[in-house]
């Protein structure tokens, strides 16, 4: 019973973390898109899991630092991703 409670708590924490990372990626992508428009569409956003600082990435297979994760442009909400 304790094992299940710890697992569900961990799952909930993972979901909160994932949501936070998605929001940070969305903010970075939106800022880039508002500044640069449709000049060059990024493949996604690299985010530091601890600081939530990040940057847009143009390569489809980026090299990431150990604390970074990659959020592909397809995972960002459609109202943020420009239509092609």
pLDDT above 80 for 6: no
Q: Kindly provide the residue ranges of all beta strands, DSSP E only, lying in 1-84, ordered along the sequence.
A: 44-48, 54-57, 68-72
Q: What angle do CA 38, 39, 41 make, to 5 degrees?
A: 65
* Residue 11 in tokens: 């799952």
pTM above 0.95, yes or no: no
pLDDT (mean) for 11-16: 60
- Predicted confidence at residue 38, as pLDDT, reads 77
């Amino acid at each position: 019973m304790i094992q299940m409670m710890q697992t569900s708590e961990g799952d909930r924490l993972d979901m909160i973390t994932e949501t936070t990372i998605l929001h940070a990626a969305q903010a970075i992508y939106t800022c880039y898109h508002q500044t640069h428009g449709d000049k060059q569409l990024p493949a996604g956003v690299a985010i530091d899991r601890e600081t939530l600082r990040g940057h847009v990435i143009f390569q489809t297979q980026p090299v990431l630092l150990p604390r970074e994760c990659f959020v592909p442009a397809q995972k960002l909400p459609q109202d943020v991703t420009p239509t092609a």
